[in-house]
Structure 1
Amino acid sequence: MTLAAGPSDTPARDWYFTRFEHRRPLPPSPHVKWRETLWQILASMSLGIGLWYFYWRWTASLNMDALWFAIPLALAETLSFIGLLLLMFNMWQVSDTPWQPPPTSACQCDPDAEDRPVKVDVYITTYSEDPELVRLSLQAAKSLVSPPGVEIAVYCLDDGRRPDMRQVAEEEGCGYLTRSSGEGFKAGNLRNALDHTSGDFVIICDADTRIFPQFVERTLGYFRDPDVAWVQTPQWFFDLPEGESLEDAWERRWRVVGLDKLARRAARFVQRLVGPVRVGEDPFDNSPVFFYDVLLRRRNGASASFCCGAGSIHRREAVLQASLRAYAAAVEQRVTPVIAEIDDAESREVLGSAMRREMALETQVTPYKFHVSEDIYTSIVLQGDPVRPWRSVFHPEILSKMLSPQDMQSWLIQRFKYGAGTIDITLNDNPLLNYKLTLSQKLMYLMTIWSWLSCLWMPAFLLAPIIYLFTGIPPVTAFSLEFFVHFIPYIFAYELAVLIGAWGVSNGRGSSFHMAFFPYGLRAIWTVLRGEPIKFPITPKERQIGRFLHHVKWQILVIVLTVLAIAWATIAIFVLGWRTDVSGYIVNVFWGTFCIMMMMSIVRAALWRPVGEGTT
């Protein structure tokens, strides 16, 4: 199958994702009330058992002879438990916003508007992406179904100022907008577009976002509520590698030495024991189903789902209104400290008036916050507006498709941007302190922040088995029956609760990648603390060729140290007879093996190559 790249006189072009065009997204998980009730019961039990475990952990289990080891590990467990509590609060219940048909007049979305057609602008942002890739997104946007009383216009927002991109937009009959500078990243690009268009609503797409024809029909009706500022839909990566069967993978790899048939039989035997195995399936865990269908969807009840950029539609009035308030606040913030030092009231008023005029000229109106994480930042500004807090809606149905990172370097660029951006907002404009959010909204945002801060205590979990196996010093009084009586129910109750609460949407691989991301999380925090600008290249839309082991050197170090620690402890106990605590050895070998598996997830991703790339 070959995708048509443009009009009939434009040559067709093959892309790596051409073979995935037949894929269709799965529908959102059905809301089953009895299952939600069971989840809430199990979550409550897990909370009670967790509190019991941590009371024992801090009052009766610490090794008082090694507090330098015992306290950091107990603290890491406690901080991790706080993250679990926030996760449970986020997942507590589904509150899908009732769907409504699209409006047929602007006055149905805004009581003050005239009785006229609703105008919807589609923005497709691009910087350095292949113009022919962007053409596919333009063509998809042109195929949008326009409900009665709705007018749709499509614009290409080119921050690269490229003649060939302009030509593609003109060939497709779409508007072309650019600007003289790249100030403000994507947010600056969007602001420039708002200055040159007049739609009541704006659909935001990345260069590779191809929205489905029914997008406007399925999302515009939510804006009948005049307080709804934006609607976010799930992002779906339709090009995720599907991998190959274990038989095919082992047969291919051992064919060069003539052992292909033996390897195939061995693969079949392994799968009889562990079930079907696919090699290279979504090696970077790019599937966002857990994030969208479980986490963001369940924030609807608190109006705390945040914008994720592509695949969202925004009310123009909300974005502009919030930006004007932020503009006024920014001017006042620069003026107030200066005039506060003047005692004379008349002089203070004269100087303040003059400074406000000057600052008003120097300060820019920014409809979308100028920030690498402009989507979540703008969400916070709108939801935390002290005069008119706007609502958000998460629509659970997939209405667009995108391309995923296809190599370790691209994956890291994207994740580092998310992490550093969130940390920067937290430290420099904390949403928990500086905005009028509800308690539920604050807890939801705290969960997002907490997940990125977890890299601070993740090393304690990774180092614990290494320290014990090398030294024999336990972080607890003893790995005794009492330890297992408290620890096993706590872990089992939590895992069972999340399994039921997630409706069968697995996040096991996501958890392993989150754990293995710790060096980059620490780097993101250090970058923000040093006040360095968060710079990143645009995430490549095509696979970068090569192996990327240099990106996972710290994870490899953890693996090597853990393997050496297990080997040393095994020799010390079973060969030299220097130690007798076999239960502690078993616990830490198990935990160390678990840590190795977590780190191996990202090491395998760094080594991954599509079938056929540099192979026979």
Structure 2
Amino acid sequence: MSRPASRFQTQKPWTPLPYSPLHETIWQFLCTASLVFGMWYLGWRWLKSINYDALWFSIPLLIAETGSFVGLVFFTVNLWSAKSPVRGALPVTARDCSDDPDMPDRPVSVDVFVATYSEDPELVRVGLQQSKKLTYPYPIDLRIHVLDDGKRPAMEAVAREEGVNYITRSDNVGFKAGNLRNAMSATSGDFILICDADMHPFPTFLEETLGYFRDPKVAWVQTPHWFYDIPPGVPLPAVLERRLGAFGRGIGRGIERIFGAVQVGEDPFANDPQLFFDVIQRRRNWANASFCCGAGSIHRREAVMEAALRQWSDHVAAAAGRNEKAARELTGEAAIMDSISDAMRWQSALDEEFQPYKFHVSEDIYTSIVLHSDRERGWRSVLHPVVQSKMLSPNDLLSWTIQRFKYAGGTLDILAHDNPLVRRGLTLPQKLMYGSTFYSYLSPIWNVIFLVSPIVFLFSGIAPVSGYSLDFFLHIAPFLLLNELSQLVAMWGNSNAKGRAWYLAMFPLNLQALWAVMRGQKISFPVTPKDRQVGTYGRLVRWQIGLVIVTMAGLIWGWFSYGTGRDGYTLGAMIANTLWGLSNALSMLPVIRAAYWQPDPEYEAAITEGSLPTGV
């Protein structure tokens, strides 16, 4: 089911959060206090609250709490500072972007790569037309290339009609990464702008990003993803005003001042990426650890090629060393002749694939790790916070699941086979930032324990702690309160409630990705569908539905048991586990709703007719 083209004009991207030293100081104070009280709580839990009569229950929960707290430490380090590199003046010539004194004084050259495989050629056409509108105040050599791994005559015809270059290849080795590598061998621009088939760059893209490359150490600049096709919803003040008049609007504005913008009827899939780009990625700039997210990024060709060449050379040397060792063991010789050694190195060079973009389902973050670990060159990355393109979002739960499984599986595969935490070249702050990303995908291990624990208590009366006493609440309450306050300040203007709910609710998908990597299963390269898939997807949320049903049944049984005076069902235990269980159940509801969500016919009709006001 295609989505109306008129949506292209109905929404506007967010404005980046302004940097405030005072705001940052308040956040740093609150998050430090939160961690201090968190350690105090965990220390008490380990030393004084274990239920020795139910170690099978108490210890797993305690380990889960500790694992979650380590994740909070990683997250705090990630958000520590919002300081970012200062963008330089726009380069007039290529020499302004290089420290090579022999660089010719010529216009900057940029190759725009539009990677496609099976997407509708007419969808790609719109992106090509937008790419041709890129502006720059100085002479520039701009070349647009369609990278068609589908080898389609219709796509070639669109490229020819739009007057852009068409590049294809005889095979699809390496999928998107291989497609980019093939295009690099056929082009020569100083910079490469990466576009997906559905991405439409804004005319100002180059004007907003090329200034960073005056620093010859900047290898790439990533801009935020922004989806223009998601239901924007209606602001909470407007909804309350319809029902309560001016009083309702005032209440709505007061709520938004505390919790940030609240939209009623907005995107059910939590696709809005502002929190990720404007908070999480942006705050990695201080550590030079913002990573590439594929589309919407612009790369210095020299950096990509040089890092790939260095990695290729290292792999060749390592392979030759292994071959020489095997030859010495076979012949019993202490050393082998130089001619034989040279022949082995030459054969290793022929066998080793040269990969400017790593052949991997997560080639973007993999390439980022390779570049960041090149300590000799000291390549830098930048997350530019201003949106400079728009693209399509997964608009049904099946498409969303395909995309997120690829993200989770690809990231965990890197952790399992090329762990950046032990990689030479990365700085400690960079390792902590990458560690935060990889560690977050291990969360289903302890999230499952958090989801099951209140159910176990409600049906059995067995507590995972020695007692839900006043001492318990005095230890946990300050930590929870300070953690919530620090998160509100850190993400001021962004609501994290839906993100946290999905983070908890997607435990089946993340467990599946983790299990696939542990079994050595290859993570595939599926193309995320660009059209809405017709139907509902209850089968994708059967675990979440089951959890809600069992939790609610547990609450009924637990309060019945409390009312009849059964052992173990104290008032403190019931209050704690009721709040816990309800929170878990509520966190499942957004993904369940998304499985059965259908577009609002009135909204579809309004945008098709062009009657929906811009920005609503």
- 2:290 corresponds to which of 295, 298, 305: 305
Post-superposition offset of 1:576: 6.9
User: Is 1:118–1:200's contact at 8 Å kept on the other side of the alignment?
Assistant: yes
Counterpart check, 1:448 vs 2:433: no
Q: In structure 1, what is the equivalent of residue 78 of structure 2?
A: 90
Report the Cα offset of residue 567 of structure 1: 1.5
- The superposition leaves residues 378-411 of structure 1 with CA deviations (integer Å, 9 ceiling, x where unpaired) of 0000000143231111111111111111000110
Amino acid at match of 2:78: N
Q: Give the aligned residue type for 1:506.
A: S
- Partner residue in 1 for 2:135: 145
- Say whether 1:70 aligns with 2:55: no
Which amino acid counterpart does residue 85 of structure 1 have in structure 2? V
Contact kept in structure 2, 1:413 and 1:536, CA below 8 Å: no
Gap change, CA 1:614 and 1:52, over 3 Å in 2: closer
Query: Which residue pairs with 2:465 in the alignment?
Result: 476
Q: Would the alpha carbon gap of residues 207 and 231 (structure 1) be closer, same or farther in structure 2, given more than 3 Å must change?
A: same
Partner of 1:373: 362
Q: How many Å separate the matches in 2 of 1:245 and 1:542?
A: 27
Change (3 A) 1:536 1:606: farther
- Take 1:574 and 1:474, find their aligned partners in 2: how far apart are those partners? 18
Q: Work out the CA distance in 1 between the residues paired with 2:566 and 2:189.
A: 78
Aligned to 1:27: 15
Structure 1 position 334, deviation (Å): 2.2
Structure 2: how far apart are the matches of 1:108 and 1:615?
48
SS of residue matched to 2:192? strand
Task: Judge which range, 20-29 or 123-132, deviates more.
Answer: 20-29
1:53 partnered with 2:41: yes
Write the distance in 1 (CA, Å) between the matches of 2:516 and 2:403.
16
Give runs of aligned pairs for residues 199-598 of structure 1, distance below 5 A. Answer: 199-243=189-233, 280-341=265-326, 342=328, 343-347=332-336, 349-575=338-564, 580-598=569-587
Give the whole-Å Cα distance in 2 for the aligned partners of 1:543 and 1:271: 34
Contact 1:101 1:218 in 2 (8 A): no
RMSD value, Cα: 2.6
Deviation at residue 117 of structure 1 after TM alignment: 1.3
Partner of 1:5: none
Letter in 2 for 1:32: S
Cα deviation, residue 96, structure 1: 1.6
Match of 1:40 among 20, 23, 28: 28
Q: Which residue of 2 aligns with 1:258?
A: none
Asked if the contact 2:561–2:569 (Cα under 8 Å) also holds between the matched residues in 1, the reply is no
Taking a change above 3 Å as real, the CA distance of residues 14 and 487 of structure 1, as seen in their structure-2 partners, is closer
- Whether 1:608 and 2:597 are equivalent positions in the alignment is yes
**Aligned-pair distance for 1:348?**
5.7
Alpha-carbon distance change, 217 to 273 in structure 1, aligned in 2, over 3 angstroms:
closer
- How big is the shift at 1:279? 5.4
Gaps of 5+ in 2: 257-261, 606-616
Q: Helix, strand or coil: the match of 2:146?
A: strand
Detail structure 1 runs of 4+ shifted over 3 Å in the superposition: 243-246, 269-280, 348-351, 575-580, 613-616
For the pair 1:155 / 2:155, whether they are aligned, the reply is no
8 Å CA contact 1:40, 1:92 repeated in 2:
yes
Specify which structure has the bigger relative contact order, considering alpha-carbon pairs within 8 angstroms and separated by 6 or more residues: 2
CA positional deviation for 1:161: 0.5
Aligned partner of 2:109 among 119, 136, 148: 119
Alpha-carbon separation, structure 1, partners of 2:566 and 2:63: 33
- Identity value in percent: 49
Aligned match of 2:164 in 174, 179, 188? 174
Determine the C-alpha separation between the residues in 2 that align with 1:530 and 1:507: 33
Aligned mates of 1:48, 1:440 — CA distance in 2: 21
Task: Determine the C-alpha separation between the residues in 2 that align with 1:551 and 1:352.
Answer: 56
> Does the residue aligned with 1:157 lie in a helix, a strand or coil?
strand
Q: 2 CA distance for matches of 1:402 and 1:220?
A: 21
In structure 2, distance between residues paired with 1:606 and 1:419: 20
Q: Contact conserved, 2:461 with 2:569, CA < 8 A, in 1? A: no
Q: Who is 2:126 aligned against?
A: 136
The size of the alignment, in residue pairs, is 589
Deviation by residue 1:264-314 (Cα, 9 ceiling, x = unmatched): 999xx9999998986541100001111111111111111100000111000
TM-score between both structures, scaled by the size of structure 2 = 0.91
Distance, in Å, in 1 between the alignment partners of 2:155 and 2:202 is: 22
Q: Could you tell me how far apart the structure 2 residues matched to 1:301 and 1:58 are?
A: 35
Shift of 1:589: 1.2
Secondary structure (helix, strand or coil) at the match of 2:298 reads strand
Gaps of 5+ in 1: 1-12, 250-263
TM-score, normalised via structure 1 length: 0.91
Deviates more, 1:483-492 or 1:568-577: 568-577
**Alignment-derived partner of residue 610 in structure 2:** none
| Inter-partner Cα distance in structure 2 for 1:270 and 1:481 | 39
Alpha-carbon spacing, 1:346–1:437, altered in 2? closer, same or farther (3 Å): same
The structure-2 alpha-carbon separation of the partners of 1:579 and 1:98, relative to structure 1 and needing over 3 Å to count, comes to: closer
CA distance in 2 between partners of 1:20 and 1:145 (Å): 20
